[in-house]
Amino acid sequence: MNKLLRKLLTLAAPMAAALSLFAAVASAHVTVSPAESTTGAWETYTLKVPSEKDIATTQIDLRMPEGAEFKQYEAVPGWTVTVEGNKISWIASGDGILAGQFQRFTFTAKNPDTAGDIAWDAYQHYADGSLVQWSGEEGSDTPHSITEIVQAAAGDDSHSHRGTGAAHSGSMTMDEHEAIMENAEKSGNTSPMVYITLGISLLAFLLSAVALLRGKKE
């Protein structure tokens, strides 16, 4: 019995490693939330940027999707913001986003007037000069974030925030800010390949355990 238990524990080690990899990959992508909004609305979006490398992220560039119009941003200590056409850049004036950290940047944009998916292309600059382009299709290693724009119901206030339920203004209350942060956590995009990898790992573990049990009986 002890021998069987040791074998199962040996199999559990790679399984634990696979779960750790799943957790890391699931949270590593640059994302924009919420994942759904309405046509013509002034939406408060949150750009979440994790630092995947052992060096700091010093700049993040975000391209506004076609039909969307950038309005304003929330100031973040240690970062300066530049707007050039449809490109918004957050540039670190200090250490930036260090390894194991992430940073949120909040901004307001007017949604397109027509329903459909809009893609947020982001470009992450590291302190060593390397660049990660988050502009690939869904399911790729570096996918862009997608927001689904649905048709607004008749009578909807185009200046309302669907993510917070608050009226549009130049500033926000702490309750509104916390609501945005909570919504951002729920709206992160994860590649389907992550779930496929996790499923294969679980199946392999179960098959190995069954084989060991059958071998024990024989």
Q: How far is CA 12 from CA 2, 21, 35, 118, 205, in A?
A: 15, 14, 35, 41, 7
3-state SS of the chain: helix, strand, coil percent to 5? Answer: 30, 35, 35
Residue with tokens 């919420």: 34
Return the pLDDT at 30: 95
- Rounded mean pLDDT for each run of 10 residues along the chain, 218 residues in total: 53 46 55 97 97 95 97 97 97 95 97 97 97 94 96 68 40 47 49 57 67 62
Q: Which pLDDT score, from 0 to 100, does residue 184 have?
A: 46
At 6 the pLDDT is: 58
At residue 56, the pLDDT reads 97
Res 196: pLDDT: 59
